Chains A and B, each alone.
Chain A
Amino acid sequence: MLGRFGAGLAVALALALPAVADEPVTSFTLDNGLNVVVIEDHRAPVVVQMIWYRVGAADEPPGHSGIAHFLEHLMFKGTEKVAPNAFSGIVEAQGGDDNAFTSWDYTAYFQRIAADRLDLVMEMEADRMRNLRLTEEDVLTERQVILEERAQRTDSDPGSLLMEQMRAAQFLNTPYGIPVIGWRHEIVDLSREDALSYYKRFYAPNNATLVIAGDVTPDEVKTLAEKYYGPLKPSEGIVPRVRPQEPPQLAERRLVLEDERVSEPYVYRSYLAPERDPGNQREAAALTVLAELLGGNGQTSVLARALQFDTQTAVFSSAYYDGTSIDDATFGLVVMPVQGVSLAEAEAAMDKVLADFLKTGPDPAALERIRTQVRAGEIYDRDDVESLANRYGQELSVGLTMTDIDTWDEALSAVTAEDVMAVAHKVLDRKNAVTGWLTRPATEEEAQP
């Protein structure tokens, strides 16, 4: 089996089947509200610092899409203590690497560096939480950079454009319909004032989680965190993230994106689906297992068997679900037909597979293999402390608790065939879905009736 998609879509399709480790994980909260999580791994003299702000593209003021991501770029511009554009250079001169990323529910910054230099990067990260300095020139040049980023990641890739259109169609009312990078016509007007007012309100210790992972002890982290982050004042602008919610979806939504750059047409189906909730992860766990059963494996999953082995309908098929979000999530399916099979035929074949699955239910052996992999994942994950740090940061940032995180594997292992069928019947309904076709502009001979 060959991998099919480039990085962009591969990320979207990656299955959320992580497993938490029996690693020493400690957490505490500073007086100013900063949550701190420490994940110990003393095998190598390395440490990762991540700061997660509980704010993202879904918290942007209307008409200013992209400001969360734009600010992420501008956070490298400097403070009173750090000269303009010097932040990364200081980390790099210590042999470290740094970067940042933005999603709908969070914005995160990280450095990876020798453990004895945690002191330095902690001082720098705490400094830019409240003391960012921006010049008009910095803002204008960086805005060109994010326009180039949008051109590279989205506008140059028909698959990304389809995803963007599908999310916009899926979310009528929650802000998840807005692209993280922003709409081009709004990015061009983002200003220094937009960035600073967003920064001042949301970048504060009481709106952040600090995750330190690697060759450190909780005591060391506590001392350093109190020294550097402790003096920072909390923001008074932090309120619970109660966002507009989706109305009931009453009608199926469909769209066709034609682009002459498309080589391999495909069908993408996205269903509105429940997310993980604090204290209640049962449905999300069942949906995670459902995605794995339907499309998680190129040789054994239900879609692959039916469309790639029993019939030669598809060259590729997959299913995905990631319930780690504050508001409604999506459950997705993709089928790329073989040459000679139309998108209409591919979609009909996909729907028939789903209808059959809803009658017969999962193969008990397949369910058991997934449970085995969940248990093994707990061991493998201990080898990659950075991805564990990522997981704690992300999940805490969407409001899940340490207990939710630590019991997620149990929730996955406890999923029964009945649980899977209950969520399948609930979610896999075309009235609840957006179906997108990615295709080339039809020539006259190819035109479908």
Chain B
Amino acid sequence: MIRAVFAAALLLAAPVRAEIAIQEVTSPGGIKAWLVEDHNIPFTALEIQFRGGSSLEAPEKRGVVNLMAATLEEGAGEMDSKAFAEARDALAAGISFSSGADSVGVSAKFLTENRDQVVELMRAALVTPRFDQEAVDRVRGQVLSNLRANEKDPGTIASEKFDALAFGDHPYATTADGTTETVTKLTRDDVVAAHKAALARDRVFVAASGDITAEELGKLLDRLLGELPATGAPQPGDAPWLLPPGVTVVDFPTPQSTVFFGEQGIPRDDPDFFPAFLLNEVIGGGRFTARLMTEVREKRGLTYGIGTYIVNMDHADMLLGHFSASNDKVAEAIKVVKEEWGRLVTEGVTPEELEATKTYLTGSYPLRFDGNGPIASILVGMQMDGMPIDYVTTRNARIEAVTMEDIQRVAARLFKPEALQFVVVGQPEGM
């Protein structure tokens, strides 16, 4: 058996350091950003996030932030929708707008030679969007079409049911896209108000990576964002956690059931976060060797894939998982998940498992920083999470510091088989 050869190699592996230098840039006008300068390729990736998304909405205006963000590219200043798209494409720039429960985002990339013109285009979209009635109505039609499609999509049905069970009357309880009823009634004035509420300088986070200096970035920030209002709408309070334990079946005519399951999670700034992060990786992380992949897929062939996730939203923390399994197998799969949840608490994690999980997490971390686009996106996320600027160099040490005792304590604190809720969309047998 030469298997020993590979086992020995494991011991030799020293963690790789992420070799990126992050600068904090403050523009002359006082806007902060994180920057990784890299002049190898003549373009820049720029990521902007505004804290607060559909979480800012009143109940009767659900979906307005989504509609607003999706209409930002539909014309600005002198340009209508077509003129804006033609200008962007003629400059070979990528500019996209997005929104979610907690944020509105702008993701851009531009060649160095076109930088000023692209920034001007982005500034127009962010500061002077037109929100023409024709564009609002057309995009609304697309949103409504998506909403109808979601009603027939087992995955969306499952996650929406889960949120409805968990969050009471908090905005998180309903989808960020809104409902057919609310979206139909939204007016152009609502969209304009959502723009003022969400896009303000008191909530903006920026990161850039690529062919740009700190001085150039500072000037760019003032031009791009300086004309936005200083403050926006207040952020909502924390969501209640009302998720009942048990199994909820939503009847849907399909041969395979889709399952969302979970319980309350752990805050990102909790001292137990890193042990929890490791525990999640052991049971359901993104690896083929995670326990649930091994037990539900590899050993029993009950699913194509299963994963669990620590989800930290601004106003709620969750421990979530999902998978699909044929209607005649889903009951058995749920039973295995519950058993594994319990086994994590009663038997814990072996020292070997903990070690292997640490090497995976510490070794894979530097691999994330492999391009301007990914770097800018990670850096903006770190700022929103309140991480210090040296987090990249200290993160692996925090993982290494987790002990077997930490694991045991946090497993008992976080993993509660009796608290799990399973939402099953399909026609499961024997449930």
Say yes or no: B253 contacts A89, CB within 8 Å. no
Q: How far apart are the CA atoms of A369 and B73 in the complex, in Å?
A: 18
| Chain A 38-53 per-residue mask, 1 if CB under 8 angstroms from chain B, else 0 | 0000011110000000
**A418 within 8 A of partner (CB):** no
Asked whether A263 lies within 8 Å of B151 as measured between CB atoms, the reply is yes
Minimum C-beta distance from A182 to chain B (A): 14
Does A4 reach chain B (CB closer than 8 Å)?
yes
Contact B5 A81, beta carbon cutoff 8 Å: yes
- Residues in A with CB closer than 8 Å to B373 are 383-384
Residue pairs across A and B with Cβ atoms less than 8 A apart, 21 shown, are: A2-B142, A6-B153, A45-B16, A80-B2, A81-B5, A82-B3, A88-B288, A96-B364, A97-B286, A116-B16, A146-B304, A148-B324, A261-B254, A264-B148, A309-B81, A369-B89, A372-B90, A373-B92, A380-B43, A382-B40, A383-B373
**Cα(A264)–Cα(B371), bound, Å:** 37
Over the window 123-153 of chain A, the binary record of Cβ atoms lying under 8 Å from chain B Cβ atoms (1 yes, 0 no) is 1100000000000000011111111110111
Q: In the complex, which residues of chain A have a beta carbon less than 8 angstroms from the beta carbon of B298?
A: 85, 141
Give how many B residues have a beta carbon under 8 Å from the other chain's beta carbons. Answer: 84
Cβ of A232 to closest chain B Cβ, rounded Å:
16
CB pair B70–A1 under 8 Å, yes or no, is yes
A398 to chain B, nearest CB (A): 26
For the complex, is B163 an interface residue (Cβ under 8 Å from A)?
Answer: no
Docked CA distance A146–B109 (Å): 39
Q: Is A95 an interface residue (CB 8 A)?
A: yes
At the interface, yes or no: B284 with Cβ under 8 Å from chain A? no
Quick check: which of A297-305, A344-352, A427-435 contacts chain B, the rest being far away? A297-305
* Residue contact B73 to A263, C-beta cutoff 8 Å: no
Query: Once bound together, how far apart are the Cα atoms of A142 and B303, in whole Å?
Result: 10
B109 nearest CB neighbor, chain A only: A380
Chain A residues contacting B16 (CB-CB under 8 Å) are 45, 95, 114, 116
Check if A93 sits within 8 Å of B324, measured CB to CB. Answer: no
Interface flags, B353-376, vs A, CB<8A=1, else 0 = 000100111111111011111000
Inside 8 A of A124's CB, which chain B residues have their CB? 6
Which of chain A's residues has its CB closest to B149's CB?
A263
Would A264 and B89 count as touching, CB distance under 8 A? no
Interface residues of A in 78-92 (CB under 8 A from B): 80-83, 85-86, 88-90, 92
- Say whether A249 faces chain B, with CB atoms less than 8 Å apart: no
Within 8 A of B (CB), among A90-127: 90, 92-98, 112-114, 116-117, 120, 123-124
Q: Is the CB of A45 within 8 A of B19?
A: yes
Closest to A440 in B: B152
Q: Which of B7-15, B236-244, B268-276, B414-422 forms part of the interface with chain A?
A: B7-15
Determine if B9 and A260 form an interchain contact, defined as CB atoms under 8 angstroms apart.
no
| A271 CB–B CB distance under 8 Å | no
Contact between A151 and B255, CB atoms less than 8 A apart: yes
Q: Are A43 and B38 in contact (CB under 8 A)?
A: yes
Decide if B29 is an interface residue (CB 8 Å cutoff): no
Within the complex, the shortest CB–CB distance from B311 to chain A, in Å, comes to 20
A76 part of interface (Cβ distance < 8 Å): yes
Selected contact of A155 from candidates B153, B256, B297, B366, CB within 8 Å: B256
A402 to B10 alpha-carbon distance, docked (Å) = 37
Chain A residues, Cβ within 8 Å of B91: 372
Are B111 and A96 in contact (CB-based, < 8 A)? Answer: no
> Any chain B CB within 8 A of the CB of A30?
no
**B302 on the A face (CB < 8 A):** yes
Residues of B within 8 A of A (CB): 1-3, 5-6, 9-10, 13, 15-16, 19, 38, 40-43, 45, 70, 73-74, 81-82, 84-86, 89-92, 94, 109, 111, 138-139, 141-143, 145-146, 148-154, 252-256, 258, 286-289, 294, 297-304, 324-326, 329, 356, 359-367, 369-373
> Residue among B41, B109, B255, B297 with the most chain A CB within 10 A?
B41
> In the assembled complex, which residues on chain B have CB atoms less than 8 Å from the CB atom of A141?
298-301
| Residues in chain A near residue B287, CB distance under 8 A | 88-89, 92, 97
Q: Is A376 interfacial (CB 8 A cutoff)? A: yes
CB distance from A5 to the nearest CB of B (A): 9
Contact B41 A383 (CB under 8 A): yes
Which residues of A are found within 8 Å of B363, using beta-carbon distances?
94-96, 113-114
* Contact, CB under 8 Å: A93 / B142: no
**Residue numbers in B under 8 Å from A382 (CB-CB):** 40-41
* Interface contact A95-B15, CB-CB below 8 Å: yes
Whole-angstrom CA separation of A260 from B324 in the bound complex: 20
For chain A, give the interface size range: 35 or more
A335–chain B nearest beta-carbon distance, Å? 13
CA A76 to CA B45, docked complex, whole Å: 37
B88 to chain A, nearest CB (A): 9
Residues from chain A with Cβ under 8 Å of B70 in the complex: 1-2
A148-B365 contact given A1-B142, A93-B356, CB 8 Å threshold: no
Q: Does A312 lie at the interface of the complex (its beta carbon under 8 Å from any beta carbon of B)? A: yes
Least Cβ distance of A102 to chain B in Å? Answer: 14
Of A43, A82, A113, most B-chain CB atoms within 10 Å? A43
Are A375 and B10 neighbours in the complex by a CB distance under 8 Å? no
Residues of the A chain whose Cβ atoms lie less than 8 Å from the Cβ of B299: 141
Q: Is A392 an interface residue (CB 8 A)?
A: no
Contacts of A90 in B (CB 8 A): 6, 10
The 8 closest A-B CB pairs, nearest first, are: A95-B363, A144-B301, A376-B92, A299-B85, A88-B288, A263-B152, A149-B304, A151-B256
Within the complex, the shortest CB–CB distance from B44 to chain A, in Å, comes to: 10
The residue among B73, B92, B297 with the most chain A CB atoms within 10 A of its own CB is B92
In contact, B149 and A369 (Cβ under 8 angstroms): no
* Chain B residue at minimum C-beta to C-beta distance from A387: B371
Residues from chain A with Cβ under 8 Å of B151 in the complex = 263
CB contacts under 8 Å to B, within A321-342, are: 336, 338-339
Contact indicator per residue, chain A 341-374, by CB within 8 Å of chain B (1) or not (0): 0000000000000000000000001001100110
A262 at the interface (CB under 8 A from B): yes
Q: Identify the closest chain B residue to A149 (Cβ).
A: B304
Q: Are A261 and B89 in contact (CB under 8 A)?
A: no
Per the bound structure, the CA–CA distance linking A323 and B301 in Å amounts to 36
